[in-house]
Amino acid sequence: MSAMRGLLDRFMLLDLFSGLGITFRHLFKKKETVQYPEERCEPAHRFRGMFRLDEERCIKCTLCARDCPIDIIYIDWHQEMNPVTEKKEKALDRFDIDVQRCMFCGLCEEACPTNPKSIWLTSKTYELASYDRWENLYVDIDELQDWKVRPAYTDDEVR
Amino acid sequence: MLEALREAVGPTLFTYAVSPLFKILALIFLGVLPLIMYLVLAERKILGFMQVRLGPNRVGPWGILQPVADIAKLLVKEDVIPNKAVRWAFVLAPCLVVAPAFVILAVIPFGPSAEQSGGALDFFITDVNVGLLFVVAMATVGVYGIIIGGWASNSKFSLLGGLRSAAQMISYEIPQGFSLVIPLLMAGTMSLQGVVGAQFEQGRWFVFQFFPFGLIAFFIYFVAGVAESNRNPFDLPEAESELVAGFHTEYTGMRFALFFLGEYANMIVISALAVTLFLGGWLAPFPNVGWASFLDLQWIPFMTPGLAGLIWFSAKLFAFLFVYIWFRGTFPRYRFDQLMDLGWKWLIPLVLFTVFGVGIWKTLL
């Protein structure tokens, strides 16, 4: 039977015609192209993207800065009297990350002792390109806490 | 207006100089060049669709201005002639590819003649009584352009591409020539207009004449035609993955565009010939079936028989061009020995058998 089929293939070029059929069917398929600037793919749920920081949760222990293998997290703090609890607490002066050299290893997130983490990378923001090295790639505490860099996804935007 | 012009220049001059000149200009600048421009776009679109992507869609709505952008880009590109290239041959080669392809269009009947349609104009430039010979002769010249271009570039990739083209031409010219003999035998004339007329008189397109010989001849003609126009799956002279760009590796800007133009013009010529010789040319399908009489398109306002013929010819032509693109989207390139194997061991015996069969059928019956 298979010999018969092989012979038919040889003379009637069946395999060529089935190939033509496949490409013809694909002609009418829904196209997979994502028209990037107008539409975007939503990253996977645990996608490792840009940093985010929550100052409320942060205990200013600087473990993230110590664990950073290339020392790009800069933290300055001072003691301050909390007027409500009347206790001394640490207050942040500066929490900067020089993202230019960051490799997104996530060690800072692992080192963070708070639960939930105060610094995390699952922000789903990945559009980090910029024209100037210092323009967007050196983020201070305000930018780290601005979680609306990427607006929320609408249904028709996510394909 | 036509009549006024005829009276102004006299009937002889009108028939043999003015009218062909206008038809040539119209054919090239309103017919073939826009068709080639949009064929390139259609090819990119269809290939994109077959690969489940969108194809060009940024320049104008659905990308319809893409050809304009492409041409602007090609025109302003630097024209590089390599130092060690043979200058005159390098310059000559692209012209040798384009010119014959356009010349062939002169004898192809795009529609009925004036007597057949009862209109004022012949829908072809000229009707040569050795039309088919003329076509074969001209089609062969085109390959010289590729060989000369490959040799003159003085680059190993170009030379290999050109030589491959030469070998391919020798192998595929033979089955193509023989498969052209078959409609010739069926029609009994070499004039292309006459071939279409014979199909009208015999009431049957030549693909279905002398079944299955017509079909086999058509198949062989088309396979050899794809090989002659260096298209997938026979694009060995170009062979992007092996020879960079084959014979046009060293060409840039407008000279490259001429090669490109030649390739697409060849596609159109081979499709037009296939339509004329095997698929009834400008004839509408099913002329003698009662309920299918709407296919002569006379119910459309302002339609004349001549225009209807032109429309049917174009429809068949577009179907062929689609098949070309479809092939490109489907088949991988042949290896060189497979190409030779197919040409010499399969197509030539098959076409000889077919010519023999048609000859016997024609003599005995």
The dihedral formed by the CA atoms of B277, B283, B289 and B294, expressed in degrees to the nearest 10: 150
Distance CA B333, CA B235 (A): 7
Distance CA B203, CA A23 (A): 35
Tell me, what's the pLDDT at A151?
41
| pLDDT tens digit sequence for B133-152 | 888 888 888 888 888 888 88
B14-22 — which CB contacts under 8 Å span 24+ positions? B19/B121, B20/B125, B20/B126
- Contact B168/B339 with Cβ under 8 angstroms? yes
Omega before residue B233 within 30° of 0, cis: yes
Tell me, what's the pLDDT at A148?
54
Cβ–Cβ below 8 Å for B53 and A33: yes
Test the A interface: residue of B47, B49, B232 with most A CBs within 10 Å: B49
- Contact B169/B140 with Cβ under 8 angstroms? yes
For chain A, positions 27-46, list CB contacts with chain B under 8 A.
Answer: 27-33, 35
Q: Where are the alpha helices (DSSP H) in chain B?
A: 2-9, 11-13, 19-25, 33-50, 66-76, 87-104, 114-117, 131-152, 156-187, 192-201, 213-228, 240-243, 253-278, 305-330, 336-340, 348-364
Nearest to A32 among B53, B326, B330 (CB): B53
| pLDDT tens digit sequence for B13-57 | 777 777 788 888 888 888 888 888 889 899 999 888 888 888 888
Tell me, what's the pLDDT at B9?
77
Cβ–Cβ below 8 Å for B330 and A33: no
Test the A interface: residue of B330, B345, B353 with most A CBs within 10 Å: B330
Of all residues in chain B, what percent carry a pLDDT higher than 90? 1
Nearest to B53 among A19, A20, A31 (CB): A31
| pLDDT tens digit sequence for B104-138 | 888 888 878 777 776 667 777 778 888 888 888 88
Test the B interface: residue of A15, A16, A23 with most B CBs within 10 Å: A23
| pLDDT tens digit sequence for B61-75 | 888 888 888 888 888
Question: pTM for the whole thing?
Answer: 0.80
| pLDDT tens digit sequence for B146-180 | 888 888 888 888 888 888 888 888 888 888 888 88
Cβ–Cβ below 8 Å for A22 and B329: no
The verdict on A134 touching B (C-beta cutoff 8 Å) is no
| pLDDT tens digit sequence for B80-102 | 888 888 888 888 888 888 888 88
Tell me, what's the pLDDT at A32?
85
* pLDDT tens over chain A, length 159 residues: 677 777 777 767 778 888 888 888 888 888 888 888 777 777 777 777 778 888 888 888 889 889 999 988 888 888 888 888 888 888 888 888 888 888 888 888 888 888 878 887 777 777 777 777 777 777 877 777 775 544 434 444 444
Angstrom distances, CA of residue B364 to CA of A71, B357, B358, B359, B360: 95, 11, 10, 8, 6
CA distance A107 to chain B (A): 39
User: Which residue in chain A is spatially nearest to B233 when comparing CA positions?
Assistant: A16
Distance CA B178, CA B354 (A): 9
| pLDDT tens digit sequence for B229-254 | 888 788 877 777 777 777 888 888 88
| pLDDT tens digit sequence for B300-348 | 777 777 788 888 888 899 998 999 899 888 888 888 888 888 888 888 8
Q: What confidence category does residue B289 fall into, taking pLDDT thresholds of 50, 70 and 90? A: low
Exposed, middle or buried, B252 (CB in 10 Å: 0-12/13-18/19+)? Answer: middle
Tell me, what's the pLDDT at B119?
67
Tell me, what's the pLDDT at A147?
59
Nearest to B330 among A20, A30, A31 (CB): A20
Distance CA B339, CA B213 (A): 23
